[in-house]
Amino acid sequence: MLPDLPLYINVIFIATVLLTWWLCYRVSKNWALVIISLLWLLMTGILSYRGFYQDASSTPPKFTFAVIPPLIAITLLFIIPSGRKFIDAFDLRSLTIISMVRIPVELVLYWLSIYKVVPELMTFAGRNFDILAGLTAPIAYYTCFKGPKVSNKTLLLVWNIISLGLLLNIVINAVLSAPFRFQKFAFDQPNIAILYFPFIWLPCFIVMIVLLSHLASIRKLSKQEITSTPYID
């Protein structure tokens, strides 16, 4: 773990991870996905706690073993027919709500920048505007869902595309700020937090879930008829 960090930063971040994990169930109502996600969290958590990902000099960086598997899994979901069927069963309301986890994530990133373990450019004080997606998620939810069908499909589609762009923006800046051989930004203060426990869960889990939520939403919104069960049973 990173030394000298206040306990509340770790606690809030872990709570955000658990919230994201719970929302996985709300989206899919599939316990297999929830269990696989939990096992992934346990494995990456143990490896990061033991310092596995901190070796940034290897080629490829060991960090890639934390992000490539979920990226492959997401890709397969959209390629395999059974995967597409699985995605199409996701609840669109819950997919929209997931983006609210970006609010505590952005607060954690800001606090980490204060303690010099991520660069300022990764925060809302720098180049990261991802918090806007989190803040507008409840607005999109209450504006676009009235009754069993999406009341404003175009607005929700545009919101998902913009929010996906905001996510990709911070991901690119975060990767290029990490102390890898291809680092391009923040040489005075590299992005080292993501190589440590528990913050490895940001790129390998939270980012992946948010990415999947937007891709699945865009796929569902591109269909002709869309219904969505209420978020609260």
pLDDT-derived band at 223, boundaries 50, 70, 90 = confident
Phi, psi (5° rounding) for residue 75?
Answer: -60, -45
CA distance 37 to 124: 28
Reference 24, options 223, 216, 226; nearest CA is 216
Q: Where are the domains of the chain?
A: 7-221
Predicted confidence at residue 121, as pLDDT, reads 96
User: What confidence tens digit (pLDDT) does each residue in 40-65 have?
Assistant: 999 999 999 999 999 888 888 999 99
CB 87 within 8 A of CB 78: yes
pTM: 0.94
Q: Is 50 exposed, middle or buried (0-12, 13-18, 19+ CB in 10 A)?
A: exposed
pLDDT at 150: 85
